[in-house]
Amino acid sequence: MQRRFILKLAATLGAASLFATAAHAEDNIKVGVTGGPHAQIMEVVKTVAAKNGLNIKVIEFSDYVQPNAALAGGDLDANSYQHDPYLQAQVKDRGYKLIRIADTVTYPMGIYSKKVKTLAELQPGAKIAVPNDPTNGGRAMLLLQKQGLLKLRTDAGLKATPLDIVENPKKLKIVELDAAQIPRSLNDVDAAAINTNFAMEAGLKPKQDAIAVEDPKGPYVNIIAIREADRNKPWVAKLVAAYHSPEVKQFVDSKFGGSVITAW
């Protein structure tokens, strides 16, 4: 009788231990970000989420490719660094089963230069650096078109490339570079289209230093992405609630002075 009680107790304690371990794992997640504002904002999200029992480990990356690869491979539970067109391109090209679960912030792309103060000063044959990934490269091409520097094919869409240029009055030379490397290449080109997070990392202030900025009300709002299989897990709602909290909104508004704009 005593032996049976002991075995039953052990089984109960074992089940309780497994449940506790599962619950503990459920409340601990890894979120990938790129350096700069995304990382800074996620640290505030981490503090807010902890109050609701969700522990976030922030993993910082230096490029746009690895965070999705790490998420798809199971090394992350979520990432927060990209806009939806980029995610959709990755899903299509690489077969990732990743989905958008929430909007975060917008970083209006800017054109910067150390050689001219206005776009009108660009000389014929000037070199313009743009990101070499399809979505951010397309974004840069559309910005250049919006500023009247060139004209693209009408059906080029969000993934426009230099091959889609149909009018280029100044014969500008488009130089495609890794997005993270462009700020360091400003001395080598006449102007460059730079994503705001990388611009800020390089000490550039979009409102003060950019000679042109895209309209923030476009398709390029940033998002939180997760694996499709995780969409109904309890931590997902906790993560979104923490990101969309008043504390995070206040931090973004006060810290970045309009260079980064909340999208909720």
Domain ranges of the chain: 2-107+219-262, 110-213
So what's the pLDDT on residue 84?
93
The letter for the amino acid at 237 is: A
pLDDT at residue 216 in the model:
75
Domains 2-107+219-262 and 110-213 share a fold: yes
What pLDDT was estimated at residue 26? Answer: 64
By residue count, the chain amounts to: 264
Contact assessment for residue 29 and residue 74, using Cβ atoms and an 8 Å cutoff = no
Closest CA relative to residue 130, chosen from 116, 144, 150, 148: 144
The pLDDT assigned to 23 comes to 41
Task: Report pLDDT for 25.
Answer: 56
What parts of the chain have a pLDDT lower than 50? 5-13, 15-24
What pTM was estimated for this model as a whole? 0.72
CATH classification number, 110-213, choose in 2.60.40.1220, 3.40.190.10, 3.30.230.10, 3.40.50.2000: 3.40.190.10
Under CATH, what is the fold of the domain 2-107+219-262?
D-Maltodextrin-Binding Protein; domain 2 (3.40.190)
Cβ atoms of 212 and 191 within 8 Å: the answer is no
Given a contact cutoff of 8 angstroms between Cβ atoms, the answer to whether 210 and 198 are in contact is no
Q: 145: buried, middle or exposed (CB in 10 Å: 19+, 13-18, 0-12)?
A: middle
- The predicted structure's pLDDT at residue 258: 81
What local confidence, expressed as pLDDT, does residue 173 receive?
A: 98
